[in-house]
Amino acid sequence: MPGAIHAEGLVKTFGDVKALDGVDLDVPEGTVLGLLGPNGAGKTTAVRCLTTLLRPDRGKAVVAGIDVLERPDAVRRSIGLSGQFAAVDEYLTGRENLQMVGQLYRMRARAAKARADELLEQFHLADAADRTAKTYSGGMRRRLDLAAALVVSPPVMFMDEPTTGLDPRNRQELWGVIKELVSGGTTLLLTTQYLEEADHLAHDIAVVDHGRVIAQGTSDQLKARTGGERVEVVVHERQRIQEASALLDRFGLPGPGRGGTQVEEHMRKITTPVSGGAKLLAEIIRELDVRGIEIDDIGLRRPTLDDVFLSLTGHAPATEGEDGERPGAGRGGTGQGRPHRKETAQ
């Protein structure tokens, strides 16, 4: 049974550029899929194809059980879209914007007005309801845009980089809104460049690069693909490294795809892939203590989605104002002092 959003082999070419190169997606009803990728990976194009804004050259897409290519008008009645740029009229007030959208969803004028008031209240825009959107801050516009996408509580929502350009506080607030929306049963496809965001909001993550889905799974599954957890120990005395390394080896899980225990002599650092988390860490500390091996630092490192991306694509995901590779970032994310510390996973 296909999910609320289902795509098969979507291809879209703009001139010489293959924006989508055979994208397959499936989002079960009531879940959130995070489409994660750098600028230009094809995330927006995928959203535009699924929301009837763009016709794919090839492929098939079904949203809310309706064929997107055959019945785009019916699809439009079942979706809400919050695009990358706040889609509001700046010369209209917040209330007028929402009322207009409600009426275009064929609500009666009075019902549209009531719904607009309700949304303004929910999105903390009631005080600014009668000011033109031009006077709104970036966060307020985003909230207004999201409110506009939710006028009719569509069963399927698309959000294209909903928090791009927002300050941390506004981002947190928007995350709250999105979580609540999803808890109400809405199916959501969300694109983001922020690994943290996908980690935080999505049940499933599809990593996109050069118009293709290069990996898909839960945040934990993706992290596991990159090598799971590692214990990193920095011993105090260089001559005890071998001893400590042998000890750590006993706790480690060497196996295919795993590097086993690695030693970086000059930094007096030992890294071992493990499973078992914090409990294991306590055991290791005890064992080291029993042997009198002094340590400067010990920690459990979980791979971040940054590491996942790096190991999948060979380059770091572009962040704002920076695209392309990050110099010096080694494959697998260890050893080069990338200080990502992720305490908990979902």
Partner 1 sequence: MSAVTDAVRIAAPGNPLVQSVRDSLIVAKRNLIRMARIPEVIIFGLVQPIMFVVLFSYVFGGSMNIGGTTSPQVYREFLMAGIFAQTVTFATAGAGAGIAEDMHKGLIDRFRSLPMARGAVLTGRTLADLVQTALTLLVLAVVALLVGWRTHTGAGEVLAAFGLLLLSGYAFTWIGAVIGLSVRTPEAATSGGLVWLFPVTFVSNAFVDTDQMTPWLRHIAEWNPFSATVQACRELFGNPGVSTSDAWPMQHPVWASLIWSVLIILFFRTLAVHKYRSAAS
Structure tokens at 259: 């590097």
- Least distance from partner 1 to the Cβ atom of residue 40, Å: 16
- CA 101 vs CA 79, 97, 149, 176: distances in Å: 13, 6, 9, 23
Structure tokens at 142: 């985003």
E-strand stretches of the chain: 5-14, 17-27, 32-36, 58-63, 66-67, 79-82, 156-160, 187-192, 204-209, 212-217, 229-235, 262-264, 269-274, 295-301
Quick check: 105 and 97 in contact, CB under 8 A?
A: no
- Least distance from partner 1 to the Cβ atom of residue 54, Å: 5
E-strand stretches of 220-268: 229-235, 262-264
DSSP H or E stretch at residue 313: helix 305-313
Closer of 178 and 308 to partner 1 (Cβ): 178
315: number of Cβ within 10 Å: 15
- Least distance from partner 1 to the Cβ atom of residue 124, Å: 7
Positions that interact with partner 1 (CB under 8 A):
48, 51-55, 73, 76-79, 81, 83-89, 91-92, 96, 100-101, 103-107, 111, 115, 118, 122-124, 132, 145-146, 148, 150-154, 173, 176-178, 180-181, 183-184, 186
Closer of 186 and 313 to partner 1 (Cβ): 186
Cα–chain-centroid distance for residue 242? Answer: 40
Which has the closest alpha carbon to 281: 255, 254, 251, 304?
251
Closer of 51 and 304 to partner 1 (Cβ): 51
- Least distance from partner 1 to the Cβ atom of residue 43, Å: 15
- Least distance from partner 1 to the Cβ atom of residue 116, Å: 11
Closer of 82 and 193 to partner 1 (Cβ): 82
Dist CA 163 CA 166 (whole Å): 5
- Least distance from partner 1 to the Cβ atom of residue 151, Å: 7
Quick check: 193 and 318 in contact, CB under 8 A?
A: yes
- Least distance from partner 1 to the Cβ atom of residue 178, Å: 8
Closer of 132 and 218 to partner 1 (Cβ): 132
Closer of 92 and 253 to partner 1 (Cβ): 92
Alpha carbons within 13 angstroms on the beta-carbon side of residue 304 total 16
Closer of 39 and 103 to partner 1 (Cβ): 103
